[in-house]
Amino acid sequence: MRIYIHNLFIKVGRRLNIRQIALASGEIYLTRFLTRVSLKEVNIYLLVTTCLYVACKIEECPQHIRLILSEARSIWPEYIPSDISKLAEFEFYLIEEMDSYLILHHPYKSLIQIRDYLDLNYGKFGIKLTQETMQNSWSLINDSYITDIHLLLPPHIIAVSAIYITIVLKKNLLQLKNLNENGQNNNTKDEMNIDDLMSLNGIQKNNKKKSNNNNENGNDDFELDILDEDTIKINKFMNFLEHSHINLDEIVEAVQDMMNVYLVWNRYNEQTVKKQLQAMLLNKI
């Protein structure tokens, strides 16, 4: 269901060319709203539209209420009424339900801050985040809005987790590629991603153990690995984390949640969710 809603946001967002930050804020508003109100009590399509409308205003890239409503109506004509006062009414209830707390901080900014910090302190940590790492981490953050972690954990934790997954994944991807080449296996890239994320679970636990008992164990785990470029990078990043006083338990939690999304995504069937929503919405009238 959360994946379905996430995709609803993306649909409207693409139509109106809405910035990622506003999209993210909108999703948070929706998640917060649904912690207090049952999905069965409201029209989810109008809720998505309203969240985006408010988010655009807060992020200072306002869209006209008529435009946003007409775009939403063209995507879901069967669910979106043409009367703008319905959207405006919903806006009131949405803001009230959130007690007017509307300003949000997103991991995107933390991500950039971490990159800049690492660039600045290259001498100390010896690690830079490449354009590719940044892009992949950014995408991971985009997907993480399906989960609840944004309500539970501060943005920098999520940013760090995204970087962590990215660089560990890259290493595993390379290993997998080697395996696949041997076995003449032509997996598509997507499937590889998911397989990889699953296998990551194990590795990541080891790493955490390592970092938690760092003083005693040193880099034992990794000395056994082949010290390729990516492993060194992971090590350096772990070193940075230890210096940063970031809560590692929270990172473990975030990484788990962020990866679970992909497991669920694998089984996701859009049509089923759509039908269920339809049954729920239209039985009410």
How many helices (H) and strands (E) would you count in the chain?
16, 0
Cβ pair 9, 26 in contact under 8 A: yes
Q: Which of 6, 9, 13, 21 binds another protein (CB under 8 A)?
A: 21
> Does residue 29 bind another protein (CB under 8 A)?
no
Interface with another protein, residue 17, by CB under 8 A: no
Q: Do 23 and 9 touch, CB atoms closer than 8 A?
A: yes
Task: Tell which one of 35, 82, 130, 180 touches another protein (CB under 8 A).
Answer: 82
> Contact with another protein (CB under 8 A): which of 14, 109, 124, 243?
109
**Residue 177 binds another protein (CB under 8 A):** no
When asked if residue 282 is in the footprint of another protein (CB under 8 A), the reply is: yes
> Letter for the amino acid at 235?
N
Question: Is residue 186 a contact residue for another protein (CB under 8 A)?
Answer: no
Task: Using the rule CB under 8 A, give the single segment among 117-125, 158-166, 183-191, 269-277 that binds another protein.
Answer: 269-277
The C-alpha angle 87, 73, 95, rounded to 5 degrees, equals 20
Number of residues that bind another protein (CB under 8 A): 62
Kindly list the distances between the CA atom of residue 96 and the CA atoms of 36, 45, 99, 128, in Å, as whole numbers in the listed order.
11, 19, 5, 43
65: contact with another protein by CB under 8 A? yes
- In angstroms, the Cα distances linking 17 to 4, 72, 109, 133 are 20, 13, 20, 24
> Is 60 a residue that touches another protein (CB under 8 A)?
yes
Tell me whether residue 12 is exposed, middle or buried, using C-beta atoms within 10 angstroms of its C-beta: 0 to 12, 13 to 18, 19 or more: buried
Site stretch for another protein (CB under 8 A), options 95-103, 154-162, 237-245, 247-255: 95-103
Pick from 243, 261, 233, 260: nearest CA to 164: 233
d(C-alpha 221, C-alpha 160), whole Å: 21
The stretch near another protein (CB under 8 A) out of 8-16, 210-218, 250-258, 270-278 is 270-278
Distances (CA, A) of 143 to 7, 53, 112, 273: 10, 21, 18, 18
Among 57, 208, 210, 236, binds another protein (CB under 8 A): 57
Q: Does 16 bind another protein (CB under 8 A)?
A: no
Q: Which residues in this chain contact another protein in the complex, by CB under 8 A?
A: 1-2, 19, 21-22, 37-38, 41-43, 46, 53-54, 57-62, 65-66, 73, 77-93, 95-97, 99-103, 109, 267, 269, 271-273, 275-276, 278-279, 281-285
